[in-house]
């Protein structure tokens, strides 16, 4: 978001956005990229690079069977996924072959709820009676 906002601050404005518009959202960047806005495409590619750089050590250290990506970024996974996969492969040992997959947007609320229950159970405050 900051990268794209920096482009806006330097005078770039996508065709359907004025500098006085409401706050920029991630969904705006996704929409701009769909319409061919090269700055939005560059921003998504940059984000994918850093996402892959962050995921690689998780895969190396935790060795999960699969890593599931949840969130708005899954709407652009066709564009982002290959970059993430390339970055993970570049930063991982050759034998690390954990698949990184996006969730289906319809299942995301249930998945987030399930993750919250696990995190709360294992990392939440203990019950004190």
pLDDT tens readout for residues 2-30: 888 887 776 666 655 544 456 788 999 99
Decide if 50 is inside a domain.
yes
Q: Which helix (H) or strand (E) holds 69?
A: strand 67-69
Count of domains forming the chain: 1
Decide if 20 is inside a domain.
yes
For residue 68, report the phi and psi dihedrals to the nearest 5 degrees: -105, 125
Decide if 77 is inside a domain.
yes
Task: Give the HSE-up count for residue 58: Cα atoms under 13 Å, Cβ half-sphere.
Answer: 16
Q: Indicate which CATH number applies to the domain containing 93.
A: 3.30.420.40
Decide if 67 is inside a domain.
yes
Decide if 109 is inside a domain.
yes
For residue 22, report the phi and psi dihedrals to the nearest 5 degrees: -65, 170
Decide if 128 is inside a domain.
no
The reported pLDDT for the residue numbered 7 is 79
Considering the entire predicted model, what is its pTM?
0.74
Decide if 129 is inside a domain.
no
Decide if 11 is inside a domain.
yes
């Amino acid at each position: 978001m900051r990268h794209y906002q920096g482009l806006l601050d330097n005078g770039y404005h996508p065709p359907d956005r004025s500098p006085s518009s409401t706050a920029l959202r991630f969904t705006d960047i996704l929409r701009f990229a769909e319409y061919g806005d090269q700055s939005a495409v560059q921003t998504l590619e940059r984000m994918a690079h850093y996402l892959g750089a962050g995921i690689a050590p998780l895969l190396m250290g935790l060795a999960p069977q699969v890593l599931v990506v949840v969130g708005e970024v899954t709407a652009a996974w066709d564009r982002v996924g290959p970059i993430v996969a390339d970055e993970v492969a570049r930063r991982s040992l050759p034998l690390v072959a954990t698949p990184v997959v996006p969730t289906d947007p319809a299942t995301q609320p249930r998945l987030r709820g399930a993750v919250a229950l696990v995190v709360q159970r294992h990392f939440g405050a203990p019950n004190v009676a």
